[in-house]
Amino acid sequence: MPASTRSEQVVLLLNVDSHRRIWSLPDGAQDAIAARFPQLRILKAHDAASLRAHLPVADILYTWHLPPALFSLARRLKWLHTPAAGVEHLLHPSLRQSDVILTNCRGIAGDAMADHAFAMMLALARRLPDSVRLQTQQRWGQDLFWSTSPAPFTLNGKVLGIVGLGGVGIELAKRASAFGMEIVATRRRDAKPPRYVKKLLKHEQLAELLAESDFVVITAPLTAETRGLMGPRELRRMKKTAYLVNVGRGEQVDEGALIRALREGWIAGAALDVFQREPLPKNSVLWRVPGLFITPHYAGTYPEHLARATDLFVQNLALYLGGKPKKLRNIVDKQRGY
């Protein structure tokens, strides 16, 4: 039955609480939703027990996570919205094969992630991690930078290869263009490249991008095609003077191969914000690999994230309750994975 003809019966379940305030539903958001949509019955899950109790009556769910065991309880669920961009953790077979509409918040973290990736590139080019280490040692290491390789360099004239020219990749390309970089990128779907992208390649042409680029930045979603994307063969195809930056997903890079690549000099360095296992264990070899710059998976995080995510959800909620579920923004193709 269309949502518009039974709107008085629609139950919305909010499950956007976290021990980190920055990832929780903004103050006043629930009251604002209730005031705008009085026909809704709004429930809120604060923990696993309340989520389990409320799921059987929920028509709409706003949540970070919904594991398979709990999805089986959501017998009335028609639409699931997540504040995240990545949805691989939600696409278990039962949800993928269901009629439940899945929407995400891709695009709202594009500027933050592009800033972070570009900051990593600048840090590697100017050897800022080495300066931080020298500072902790109270050492004036100016001579070190000119007696060891690589010497600090500028980004102007360098080639940036963006793997996955989506929202984040486009924002990154804008920033790189302003610094005088030449940009090549891959994209699964055919499209006319933005004016600041010199060459747009297909996913199957990744080898060409790797061979040309001074920086390779992964901004693609995690799918069957991008899982294990950067292995030994791909890393060997990069220039020995090139750098790898990953702000996508940890599973896209073979960490063992990357460790070997950095130790043996296949590439000049790397920066990772995402890892196969998170939090990164204290005993991980990655902490000690020379030439690797690590940040703890916060590239897409910024203070306004949940407010923007909830604004997008509310816009979609108005469409859904107005009987336009096919018009929702950011509907995920559950078979493709993004």
Active site residues: 249, 278, 297
Specify burial of residue 199 (Cβ count, 10 A radius: 0-12, 13-18, 19+). Answer: middle
Is residue 187 within 8 A of residue 209, CB to CB? The reply is: no
- State the Cα–Cα distance between residues 241 and 159, nearest whole angstrom: 12
Residue 43 β-bridge partners: 13
Q: Are 162 and 173 in contact (CB under 8 A)?
A: yes
Nearest to 194 by CA among 216, 163, 169, 211: 169
Report yes or no: 242 and 213 within 8 Å, Cβ to Cβ: yes
For tokens 């816009």, the residue is 315
3-state secondary structure of 60: strand
| Spatial distance between the Cα atoms of 163 and 188, rounded to a whole number of angstroms | 10
Distance CA 171, CA 46 (A): 35
DSSP 67-108: -HHHHTT-TT--EEE-S-S--TTT--HHHHTSS-EEE--TTT
- How far from 138 is each of 15, 135, 208, 287, CA to CA, in Å? 47, 5, 43, 21
> Which residues, at least 6 apart from 197, have a Cβ–Cβ distance to it below 8 Å?
162, 165, 173, 183, 184, 185
274-290 per-residue burial string, b: 16 or more CB within 10 A, e: under 16: bbeeeebeeebebeebe
